[in-house]
Structure 1
Amino acid sequence: MTNETTEATPEASEVPEVLRYAAFAADPAGGNPAGVVLDAAALSAGRMLAVAAEVGYSETAFLSPTATSRAYDVRYFSPLREVPFCGHATVAAAVALAERVGPGQYVFGTLAGEVPVAVDEDPAGVLRATLTSVAPHTEPAERGDVDEALALLGWAAAELDPALPPRFAYAGVRHLVLVVADRSRLADLHYDFDGLAAYMTARDLTTLQLAWREDDRTFHVRDPFPVGGVVEDPATGAAAAAFGAYLRDLGAVPSAAVLTLHQGADMGRPGVLRVELRAGEERVRVSGTAVPIPA
Structure 2
Amino acid sequence: MSTEVLRYTAFSIDPAGGNPAGVVLDGTGLDDSEMQRTAEKVGYSETAFLNHTHDRHYRVRYFSPLAEVDFCGHATVATAVALTERIGPGTLNFRTNIGDIVVETSTADDRPTATLTSVATHSRAATATEISDTLAALGWDPTDLDPAFPPRVAYAGNDHLMLAAASRERLAALDYDFDALGAVMREAGWTTVHLFWHEDDRHFQARNPFPIGGVVEDAATGAAAAAFGGYLRDIGHADSGRITITQGVDMGRPSQLLVDLDPAATGIRVTGNAVRIERGGGSTPT
TM-score (norm 1): 0.94
Over the aligned positions, Cα root-mean-square deviation in angstroms equals: 0.7
Q: Which residue of 23, 38, 59 corresponds with 2:25?
A: 38
Q: Which runs of 4+ in 1 moved over 2 A?
A: none
Which residue does 1:188 correspond to in 2?
173
- 1:107 paired to 2:93: yes
Q: Distance in 2 between matches of 1:114 and 1:222?
A: 27
Which residue does 2:216 correspond to in 1?
231
- 1:69 paired to 2:55: yes
Q: Once the 2 structures are TM-superposed, how far is the Cα of residue 294 of structure 1 from its aligned partner?
A: 2.6
Q: Distance in 2 between matches of 1:40 and 1:18?
A: 10
For 2:278, the aligned partner's letter is: P
Q: Distance in 2 between matches of 1:147 and 1:73?
A: 39
For 1:75, the aligned partner's letter is: R
- Count of residue pairs brought into register by the alignment: 279
Q: Distance in 1 between matches of 2:2 and 2:98?
A: 27
Q: Once the 2 structures are TM-superposed, how far is the Cα of residue 180 of structure 1 from its aligned partner?
A: 1.0
Which residue does 2:206 correspond to in 1?
221
The DSSP-based 3-state class of the residue aligned with 1:252 is coil
Q: Once the 2 structures are TM-superposed, how far is the Cα of residue 280 of structure 1 from its aligned partner?
A: 1.1
Which residue does 1:281 correspond to in 2?
265
User: Structure 2: which 5+ runs fail to align?
Assistant: 280-286
For 1:234, the aligned partner's letter is: A
Q: Distance in 2 between matches of 1:83 and 1:158?
A: 33
Which residue does 1:86 correspond to in 2?
72
Q: Which residue of 246, 253, 258 corresponds with 2:231?
A: 246
> Which structure has the larger Rg?
1
Bigger fraction of residues in strand: 2
TM-score (norm 2): 0.97
Q: Distance in 1 between matches of 2:172 and 2:60?
A: 34
Which residue does 1:164 correspond to in 2?
149
Contact 2:6 2:278 (C-alpha < 8 Å) held by counterparts: no
User: Structure 1: which 5+ runs fail to align?
Assistant: 1-13
Q: Once the 2 structures are TM-superposed, how far is the Cα of residue 195 of structure 1 from its aligned partner?
A: 0.9
Deviations 1:13-40 (A, max 9, x none): x211100000000001000000000010
The percentage of counterpart residues that share the same residue type is 56
